[in-house]
Amino acid sequence: MSSSSRRPARRAALTARSSYDESLVDAELESYLGNARSRRISRLRRLSADERQRETETEALIALSLGFPIDELLPAERPLLPAPVAAAPNDYIVVRNHILASWRADPRVPLPRSRVQETVAASYDNLVAVAHGFLAREGHINFGVSAAFPASPPPDAPQRLAASVLVVGAGLAGLAAARQLLRFGLRVLVLEGRARPGGRVYTTHLGGDQAAVELGGSVITGIHANPLGVLARQLGIPLHKVRDSCPLYHHDGRTVDMKLDRSMDLVFNTLLEHATRLREYLKKAAEGISLGEGIERLRRFYKVAKSVEEREVLDWHLANLEFSNAGCLSELSLAHWDQDDQYEMGGDHCFLAGGNARLVHALCDGVPVLYEKTVKRIEHGEDGVSITVEGGQVFKADMALCTAPLGVLKSRSIIFEPELPERKLEAIQRLGFGLLNKVAMVFPHVFWDEEIDTFGCLNKERSKRGEFFLFYSYHTVSGGAVLIALVAGEAALEFEKVDPAVALHRVLGILKGIYGPKGVTVPDPIQSCCTRWGSDPLCSGSYSHIRVGSSGTDYDILAESVNDRLFFAGEATNRAYPATMHGALLSGLREASKILHASESRLNSDYKKYALQKSIRLINNVLDDLFMEPDLECGRFSFVFSYITPEEEQAPGLARITLEKPLLLPSKKRKVKGNQKDQDPVAEKIDQEVFYLYATVSQEQATELMECDDDKSRIAVLCKDLGVKLMGYDSTYDVCSHLISSISRAQKARKRLQGPKSLKTGL
């Protein structure tokens, strides 16, 4: 991270807006994508070559802001593409960037592949299919909490009968993963130890339940490309830009001289720059040195911050740095503390109106969560996972996702059987997990400057530099006069031992020292609350940082799954965005994709053996077997579905249209298979002149087709009214492999149940 990362910017704002609408981030998108689909299509058709090039460049910049390289493939994309395309991926990258930009234009509604195809030349349909599928599975598009994204699979999604997942923890990571998995069609249950969702994101209501107060994660750090901004936009929740002005005060109430403030700000940033050069010079030796030690050596070497006032201001900046990393500078790694700098999201830092609980509760909607189920043991093996909660209740599933905070993993309060791999245990111990505490207060009225969102106070004692050093004002978004005092660094550790009444008395003393000399009376708060995140056994701290001896690689190790049965998510598994709310959310989306892939691999293993038989069995034989006993038949149309019971009208399925030159259909009793062709020349002739086209349809659509008068009408309705694309053998297998597997499993399940095919007709 940069020197200003995850800390309030302190340069004076010129014309700062008092409120901020996340949709303004996409103003440029709106200007060229347009609001309506028809407007976009018609406008694209009249673009000149130069205009189209400019739009391609704009879309590339949008993709770059979302974490995609501007002219390269992501490692996960390369295996999805044919070798020639992967070797020269420019066309694919342009298509991928176009899809990302198109969805960002209005993330409140899904972006189906068909809509993308309307704006891209037909020759790129295959690239659209690959890019759209990848982006949707990985959670880059079509995710969220609006009514258009319920926690259930879309009507056209393939059914997945056997995959079940237990999610440990209902924080942002767990809820994001659970919601995505439900949309993928998996069965999910979330186990949460608390009596509420959100984990370390905790909005409570004080002052007669009138004011929303953030006791945990509070600031959306960098709104550009931030998925939390997407959720806020989907819900129509306004965001408030954290204004830049952050005046500093001495402990006796005097405002820190502007010249001193600016000079120490420059000294602080210069020391960090020199610390970067120092580690480059020391190379491997820097691995064993803390950031605090490096900065102090540099301060003495350059002989800066020598006076008492200078040192107090510099200490304020160092306390702010400890707040940003939830760790003492004496523990942060000089070599790697800022390894995530290159990924930092741009844009303003924002508060969410009404509190972050609004996002948490939206993520919960439709997600099955069992509360007060503290996980004590996770057993994992070839047969699945078994999770035991406090009290002895046991839950079983195919897979599990553990989103327990790093502090819980460090405490070993969850027993893993078998034990986690040694490299993962070592990474858990190496990574740091620090502390940030708060004193939240609701006052009868705002007595501080209403035009600022932050202000700071210096401390005389270096060891207490982080004690109530920074105040956040939430009066613009909370519904009340809310002020929160932060406690960071060594002071945060000591704060856990302080009586709340004593802590409040100290905070009020600071506020009276600042505002009393100005003639402002500081009233007693209506209600207050102190946090003790370090003493909370369900987190044992606030958020992660890179400690001496650790590196960004440890985040990656912590994110590794165990035998495709046990998966891990949370901010401490996200190398690019650790210690952030959006990092937790993104890790959940990441793991949902990994779990889906693992579940498909397991569920499809039997199908693949059945379908391929050591690469001897042909694709058309697999499809022939599916249609051996169709669920519906009408003229040249036959249908098979992935339902278990016929009442599932939205169950996806396949339609097959039989076409032949001599209009001679082979009898079911004369099925052409294997070497029978050599024995029956008539059958060979028939087989050569019969071919099939396929399409994906729901049972409801199939019923509509059967009501048509003839096959010609059915084809017209299928292709024109329903907009369904007909496919041959190869395309059907490539595009619908998951659906084919689902139908095969459903047919086997129905046979086991010995249920009659009540919908089958013979017209």
Rounded alpha-carbon distances, angstroms, from residue 639 to 28, 472, 650, 752: 46, 62, 14, 20
Does residue 16 register a pLDDT over 50?
no
Tokens of 425: 């245990």
Percent of the chain with pLDDT over 70: 84
DSSP tag of 147 = T
Q: Which of 67, 4, 1, 7 is nearest to 472 (CA)?
A: 7
Measure the CA–CA gap between 398 and 347, rounded to whole angstroms.
41
Q: Whose structure tokens read 């069965």? A: 187
Q: Would you state the pLDDT for residue 19? A: 55
Assigned CATH class of 162-200+216-239+349-430+542-598: alpha beta
Residue-wise pLDDT tens digits, 426-452? 999 999 999 999 999 999 999 999 999
Q: Binning pLDDT at 50, 70 and 90, where does residue 21 land?
A: low
Tell me the Cα Rg of the chain.
Answer: 30
Indicate the burial class of 707 (C-beta count within 10 angstroms; 0-12, 13-18, 19 or more): exposed
At the topology level, CATH places domain 47-136 in Arc Repressor Mutant, subunit A (1.10.10)
Tell me, letter by letter, the H, E, C secondary structure of 698-726. Answer: EHHHHHHHHCCCCHHHHHHHHHHHCCCCC
Q: How far apart are the first and last CA of the chain?
A: 68
Tokens of 724: 């369904």
Return the higher-pLDDT residue of 293 and 671: 293
Tokens of 34: 């347009």
Cis peptide before 681 (omega within 30 of 0): no
Determine contact, residues 247/11, Cβ cutoff 8 Å: no
- Helix (H, G, I), strand (E, B), or coil: what is residue 443? strand
Angle of helix 308-325 versus helix 291-302 axis, rounded to 10: 160
Q: Which of 538, 543, 540 is nearest to 193 (CA)?
A: 538
Does residue 4 register a pLDDT over 70?
no
Indicate the burial class of 199 (C-beta count within 10 angstroms; 0-12, 13-18, 19 or more): buried
Residue-wise pLDDT tens digits, 377-418? 999 998 899 999 999 999 999 999 999 999 999 999 999 999
Whole-prediction pTM: 0.77
Does residue 615 register a pLDDT over 60?
no
Tokens of 237: 């929740």
Determine contact, residues 396/495, Cβ cutoff 8 Å: no
Does residue 618 register a pLDDT over 60?
no
Dihedral sign computed on CA atoms, order 512, 518, 521, 526 = negative
Indicate the burial class of 493 (C-beta count within 10 angstroms; 0-12, 13-18, 19 or more): middle
CA 324 to chain centre: 21
246-345+435-529 belongs to CATH 3.90.660.10 = yes
Does residue 157 register a pLDDT over 80?
no
Average pLDDT over residues 247-274: 95
Element (DSSP H or E) covering residue 394: strand 394-397
Phi, psi dihedral angles at 270 (to 5 degrees): -65, -40
Average pLDDT over residues 515-539: 96
Percent of the chain with pLDDT over 90: 66
Specify the amino acid at residue 195.
A
CA 317 to chain centre: 31
Measure the CA–CA gap between 735 and 492, rounded to whole angstroms.
55
Residues whose CB is less than 8 angstroms from the CB of residue 735 and which lie 6 or more positions away in sequence, other chains included = 129, 696, 727
Q: What residues does each domain of the chain span?
A: 47-136, 162-200+216-239+349-430+542-598, 246-345+435-529, 620-660+687-752
Q: Whose structure tokens read 């993520």? A: 363
Tokens of 234: 């989907």
Element (DSSP H or E) covering residue 470: strand 467-473
Does residue 619 register a pLDDT over 60?
no
Return the higher-pLDDT residue of 651 and 526: 526
Q: Binning pLDDT at 50, 70 and 90, where does residue 156 land?
A: low
Q: Strand 467-473 and strand 454-457: pairing? A: antiparallel
Q: Binning pLDDT at 50, 70 and 90, where does residue 20 land?
A: low
Average pLDDT over residues 13-34: 47
Residue-wise pLDDT tens digits, 410-429? 999 999 999 999 999 999 99
Tokens of 10: 């302190």
Return the higher-pLDDT residue of 746 and 61: 61
- Helix (H, G, I), strand (E, B), or coil: what is residue 247? coil
Determine contact, residues 572/541, Cβ cutoff 8 Å: no
DSSP tag of 159 = P
Do domains 47-136 and 246-345+435-529 share one topology? The answer is: no
Dihedral sign computed on CA atoms, order 31, 33, 36, 42 = positive
> What value does the mean pLDDT of the chain take?
86
